[in-house]
Structure 1
Amino acid sequence: MTVLLLLTLLLVLAAAGFVLGRQRALAMAGGDPKKLHSLPRFYGWHAALMALVPGFVALIALLVIQPVLIERNLAAHLPQALQDDPAARQLALADVRRVAAGLETAVSRGALTETEVAALDATATDVRATLGQVGVALGSAVSPEVLEAARDHRALTAKASVWRAVLVITLAALGLGLALKQTAPDLWARNRVERVVLAVLMLASLVAILTTLGIIWSMLSESVNFFSQYPMADFFFGLTWNPKFGGGSELGFIPLFWGTIYITVIALLVAVPFGLFAAIYLAEYADAKVRAWVKPMIEVIAGIPTVVYGLFALITVGPFLRDVFAQPLGLGSSGSSVMTAGIVIGILNIPFISSLSDDIINSVPQSLRDGSFGIGATRSETIRQVVLPAALPGITGAVLMAASRAIGETMIVVMGAGAAAKLSLNPFEAMTTMTVKIVGQLTGDTDFNSPETLVAFALGMTLFVITLCLNVLAVWIVRKYREQYE
């Protein structure tokens, strides 16, 4: 039984539990809801949750545990040499999963029968050609051990699916029966339902926290592995970035850091004035009709995919800057440059700064403006000397958050600034950032345990710390200097 069908059955049982629980509560109260401790719907929700939660929790647990148990059992079919090498064992198990999936697809499409699957012989039959007839591609030849393990994988998976369905449905039915048995006029159904809802809300918060901790742990553990193979001082203070798979790499962090900061500064020089001026106009000068169509048009920019901005940088902005500024001034002849990427990332950040600044400016009390007007100040003087100082902490926080967003941008940098890691003050030269090199070092068929690959995690951890510091600084500034108005 598929997972989707199993979930559907759980939902059907939960819906039936809601109806039965509500009807049973009303029947026991003689049809008078006033005799019930809780509203009738809470008795229905109590029965529905008792049917849904145990089965759903069991389903999630089995989906996590079953593949691990199946693959542990299948590892015994592999040669001893593969069992002793963890990396080779994982590759072999990946082949087993692919072949098993291919056989399942062939059977489901009617291209193979179960008898033909059992008769397949890797030494006599080309399994790749057999499965290729139904559109299942395999990257390499299939050994007899892998084929036998794939057969066992299908059989164990099918058996596990049956037992999983039986267990989940049984738990759901038992939960529903227990809920109906407990249903009585004096049952505190609302309290039980609210405790479940509270647990779900706490779990949602816990998932966010655990996700963050998981990201930190994964980055930190691989970064420690990298620094055990490459000197930390050479990484943080090296002036050359020249990775060479096979040895002799120079993995200096400073050229990437310089490119990242250079592009971010240019992006902020573009985004902050335009975004802030747009916010001031919308909040203080534009009437309701103008604001109603100008603000959505500005925010449309935020919905454009970054790859589209990358194409815009590659095709339009880069050639324009090269032909109008770089070549006439003798500063370069390439359309890929720091200036190209910085300008386009700045355009990307305009609606971010504009929207946040607009909300912050609108939160300044009207009484401050009225007081300024009352002593004879003009509108521009009121904005400059009253509104902006009052909104400055929030605007500063918005700018720092925009800087974090610019630091983490990848696609625009790849297409607009190039991939050259260098130290230069010329804004019309091609440079790159940490995010681009993270992608580059993890792309392709490379040795995962080599310093040239693990350096991506060190760069990611460094980038995480930088953006975290910027976000913490933004929050601190907002809390430290925020004005409290009644």
Structure 2
Amino acid sequence: MDGNRNNSSSIRQMIKDNKSKRSRSALTEKTMPKLFLACAIISILTTVGIVFTLLAETFTFFERVSIVEFVTNKHWFPFTGEEHADYGIIALVAGTLTVTAIAMAVAIPVGLAAAIYLSEYASAKTRKIIKPILEVLAGVPTIVYGFFALTFVTPLLKEFIPTLKIFNALSPGIVVGIMIIPMIASLSEDAMNAVPNSMREGALALGATKFEVAIKVVLPAALSGVIASFVLGISRAIGETMIVTIAGGSRPTSDINVTESIQTMTAYIVQVSQGDAGFGTTIYYSIYAVGMTLFLFTLIMNLLAQFISRRFREEY
């Protein structure tokens, strides 16, 4: 009798525990969707707030400076007085695109080669060693990269290019390229790993070499993801701040000379934000106009990456 009572009491306890678990699970099921929705709304409102702030202050800037001058003038000299100041965004855009072009010339071949090796050649043991090293590169603070460019890369380059200035476009461009190698390598490798092994095996069965399989089969099949990684890398290079601020200098010019000092859009924003302009001045509002230009550049790059991914995606 005592055994039956103990069994019935344990069964009642189990039923009670199950009910308690179900009630907690039901509460979680009701609460979590609301929490996720709140997080999504906060993200949207933050984006809207940023865009609204940029637009409002940019309109104030264009009330003082002609948008035609802003787009067509090749000179950017905001600190020469209100009457003689020049606000031509072309000079800052030229510096930004120069650094970006150098960075992509470094990052695309190295990152793509690393992705092909990790995807097609490396053993599982080798991959476990190389991938964490690439992730460490991605985690290094950009200010460290900036001082690395100024104190190591620039003196090294001066050994080969005697006319290279202390502040120049070449050194930060190379270091920005090194910084975005992990992004291109990781995203490209993910795209290549998504290609079915049956395609590799079929090409090998037809007599193709491993290199031919990687270049002529796997790479074309993963082209959408690879190109998207390039576009995102370009977007990252355009938005880089600390490296170009430290090693690039502060001389806005539309002349493309990688040995001379330049200034990018992000570097100019940093310069003015340090207190070189008072609140309410034209120079103060100019950082919002430059920020809006930078925002449009990165937005276009991200939209282009999404379009390429959808347009050339291969589904297996």
TM value normalised by structure 1: 0.60
Q: Which amino acid aligns with 2:58?
A: S
Whether 1:306 and 2:142 are equivalent positions in the alignment is yes
The CA deviation string for residues 227-268 of structure 1, in whole angstroms up to 9 with x for no partner, is 111111111111111112751211110000001001101100
Kindly, what percent of the aligned residue pairs are identical?
Answer: 41
Whether 1:297 and 2:133 are equivalent positions in the alignment is yes
Alignment correspondent of 1:204: 39
After TM superposition, give the deviation of residue 376 of structure 1 in Å.
1.1
Alignment correspondent of 1:257: 93
Measure the CA separation in 2 of the matches of 1:291 and 1:193. Answer: 39
Q: 1:399 aligns with which of 221, 230, 246?
A: 230
Measure the CA separation in 1 of the matches of 2:131 and 2:34. Answer: 39
RMSD over aligned CA atoms reads 1.8
Alignment correspondent of 2:4: none
Alignment correspondent of 2:289: 458
> Residues 240-279 of structure 1 correspond to what in structure 2 (within 5 A)?
240-244=75-79, 246-248=81-83, 249-279=85-115
> Residues 154-233 of structure 1 correspond to what in structure 2 (within 5 A)?
190-233=25-68
After TM superposition, give the deviation of residue 295 of structure 1 in Å.
1.7
Unaligned runs of at least 5 residues, structure 1? 1-29, 46-189
Spell out structure 1 runs of 4+ moving beyond 3 A: 30-36, 190-193
Alignment correspondent of 2:20: 40
Measure the CA separation in 2 of the matches of 1:203 and 1:443. Answer: 35
Q: 1:281 aligns with which of 85, 109, 117?
A: 117
Measure the CA separation in 2 of the matches of 1:410 and 1:470. Answer: 17
Alignment correspondent of 2:265: 434
Q: 1:234 aligns with which of 63, 69, 78?
A: 69
Measure the CA separation in 2 of the matches of 1:193 and 1:302. Answer: 36
Distance 1:223 1:42, change over 3 A: farther
Tell me if the contact between 1:266 and 1:343 (Cα under 8 Å) persists in the aligned partners: yes
> Residues 271-420 of structure 1 correspond to what in structure 2 (within 5 A)?
271-325=107-161, 327=162, 332-420=163-251
> Residues 19-98 of structure 1 correspond to what in structure 2 (within 5 A)?
31=12, 34=15, 39-43=19-23, 45=24
Measure the CA separation in 1 of the matches of 2:19 and 2:88. Answer: 67
Measure the CA separation in 2 of the matches of 1:396 and 1:236. Answer: 29
The CA deviation string for residues 194-249 of structure 1, in whole angstroms up to 9 with x for no partner, is 22221101111111111111111111111111111111111111111111275121
The CA deviation string for residues 295-345 of structure 1, in whole angstroms up to 9 with x for no partner, is 2112211111111111111111111212312x2xxxx34122111111000
Q: Which amino acid aligns with 1:298?
A: L
Q: Which amino acid aligns with 2:126?
A: V
Distance 1:33 1:245, change over 3 A: farther
